[in-house]
Amino acid sequence: MNIYVGNISYQTDDSRLVELFSEFGEVASARVINDRETGRSKGFGFVEMSDDSAAASAIEALNEKEIDGRTLRVNEARPREERPRRDSRY
């Protein structure tokens, strides 16, 4: 299951996400999303867990939990919506 993790601290990195979620089961991957231009965290990321019941337990336990001074928003990730590309000429 792919899990969305929002409102994370800007200091949180991929290994911190693995640390948080591995308490509930095996983490296949974890990625904090960074701004392309600045390289700074955008304050959200994604965690992939192969066991759906472990993922559901992690969502239940970590949603609205305060971690590193921020209240996390954790839920099953939805497929990315197609957005029109911005025209950089304007």
Does residue 72 sit within a domain?
Answer: yes
Q: Which domain holds residue 51?
A: 2-76
Q: Distance of alpha carbon 83 from its chain centroid, rounded? A: 20
Model pLDDT for residues 17-37, shown as the tens digit of each residue = 999 999 999 999 999 999 999
Domain assignment present for residue 17? The answer is yes
Is residue 85 domain-resident? no
CATH number at residue 36: 3.30.70.330
- Does residue 87 lie in a domain region? no
Alpha helices in the chain (DSSP H): 14-21, 52-62
Q: How many structural domains compose the chain?
A: 1
pTM here?
0.87
Terminal CA-CA length for the chain: 39
pLDDT tens per residue across span 56-67? 999 999 999 999
**Does residue 82 fall inside a structural domain?**
no
8 A C-beta contact, residue 16 and residue 28: no
